[in-house]
Chain A
Amino acid sequence: MDTLSASKYWPHVSPNEFLENMNNNINEPLRIHEGNNTNFCSYAALSYLPLHFDPLGYAKNMVDLYRNGKVQYGRVLLTPSPEIKEAAGRLAFKGELDIRPADQIWFLTLADHFKGYLNFFDRHFDMGDENGFWAATNFSKFNRMIRALFNFKVKAKGSDLIRIRTDDLYTYLKEKLQTGTVALFVNNMTLYQKDHRVIKPGIPTHYIILEQIDEVSNGMINITYWDYGALSLQQVTRAFLERLIFGVSHCTLKKSRKHAP
């Protein structure tokens, strides 16, 4: 698609910027970026699935959402509120997300529609809420969103508070990667150290996509994961891996339907 007329539903998103963003997402799916200091990591992480397995369906649905201000995506009718339509295209100081208005539409719409217990006290969007509890995603909400939106089966292991328990986490992850896409619910303070406190809260707040995991010669483990618009390879210990991961979502394409929604 080369042209698209301006949408009355999204007054701050021009069709050219929208299409440019969509083209970038489809041509370089790993570049999708949740933005700096937002709580959009879950929405960006789950976007990995349609961008890799059903880019056409994703593009059609996004164009519908832009044109009509709503869309039937999978099993859900996404009908963003007027505040969301007014905010999309105006999020600023988020780094790469500043120039990705289609992603702003997508993340805001998902956060507006799907609610979990973390969103209980802030259900109404005001500017700035993208950084707070309004956009937060607990583990069960994350899995629910994938099941509702995409043609994927999700087997989830883990929780919001207690670390995942397996006999051998490395082997477990390695096996899961061979049969599907693996999303990890991780402690962000462990993955990206932000201060030098000795005692840190052991709470998961971040979602990443695991691409590869390999044991290397010195007993360390190389994990390759998608996060913040890029792939990273990090060398970690087994203990670090166990401290890091609270949830594993193993996503496999459903066989019953030939076409993704």
Chain B
Amino acid sequence: MNQSFKQILIASLFALVVIISPASYAQSLDFAQLTVDEDVTPEERLAKKIELTVDALEKAEERVVEMRAQLEALEFEDETPELQLRDNLVTRTNEYSTFYNEKLTALTLALTIEEVDLIIDEIITYRETIYAPGAKEIIEFNLVYSYTPSVLTLADQRMENILKDVARLEGLELIEPSTFVSRTDEAQAILQKAHDLQTQAATLLIENFVTPTATSTLAIEFTEVPLEPEITPRLLAEQSLAEIKSLYELFIETGEKVTETLGIN
């Protein structure tokens, strides 16, 4: 009995070592600083380079497809600058896809390490000079028109549910009326501010699109909190999201206060 227990223990430890070790080892590696073993043949190097580049290109294409899907999921009125801007950005994602697919084809024809390196250099340069500035605009557009509104909708629903719960608890005389007035008022004010910031971000984004050189008329409104010198749609969207974060902290505090008041904790 004792002997079999020992055997099971040893087997379990061995299994643990086998399972955990590769993962820990992989985590400890610096991803970008893998070195080539000296005994690797040029053919193996070529194959590995191609494999890694193909992997990067496929991921890049997936990323572009995801961006395009997010843009196309947004609905705007016909003949509005928002729709026009969105369509421009969609066209841009198509150009990225074309480039990545061309490079994937080029890789299949590459026969030497030098040829592959040349392709890799082209991809890196393209991503730095063409893709990054364009992707920045796409991400900003999605941030303003997709992510922030979806988070705001969720916060709106939560606010509504909290207000309903507080009203019900007051109705049931489980909490004193007006105990939570200051908290709910503060929460509503934060939520409103988040909405305003998102609206301003959208306004500025379109303003910049219609008249790219125009300076923002919103600048005056933000002299109270000069977080950064330049006010951009992204900054406004980020501020809106930061408000939502603080709103949720307040929501959690309110929830805790309710349970404390009811004496159920």
The answer to whether A and B interact is: no
Binding site for A on B (CB under 8 A): none
